[in-house]
Amino acid sequence: MDATDRAILGLLQVEGRLSNLELAERVRLTPSPCLRRVRNLEEAGVITGYRAVVDPAAVGRGFQVLAYVELEGQDAETVTAFEAAVMEIDDVVECLRMFGRPDYVLRVAVPDMDSYSQLCLEKLGRLPGLDKLTSQIAMKALKPGGVLPL
């Protein structure tokens, strides 16, 4: 990966809808080599997808919670069952497996406190292998998503 690839990645992280022509102009390439580089980055798994960034509050998901999960055990069966179950919960918008404690950090987006309470009772509290669930409510998202430094 060279400086031009990094420039392409930097621009696409901020403006994913740039046309190939505009992208090529900004990185000082002609359109064909620029498109070839983007496709190579996609095929290599460096670019893993494109998406719209949506304001959670605008779609009724403005109540953001970080849920810290500790499991009863760390064996493959427990971890696999837990991770499969988490993948089925749409309200969990991000799940990070951690070294040390907690075992997982979940980012949950729901409409309000009552919705989160219900989610805890009906789904999160019943996750396989769950030992402890601790929650923190986010007051404000200062730097959501973020752009990777290149």
Q: What is the pTM of this model?
A: 0.84
The CATH fold of domain 56-137:
Alpha-Beta Plaits (3.30.70)
Q: What is the pLDDT of residues 15-57, one digit of tens each?
A: 999 999 999 999 999 999 999 999 999 999 999 999 888 889 9
Give me the residue spans of the domains in the chain: 3-43, 56-137
Secondary-structure class of domain 3-43 per CATH: mainly alpha
Which segments in the chain show pLDDT lower than 50? Answer: none
d(CA 12, CA 9): 5
> What's the confidence (pLDDT) of residue 142?
84
Contacts of 28 (CB under 8 A, 6+ apart): none
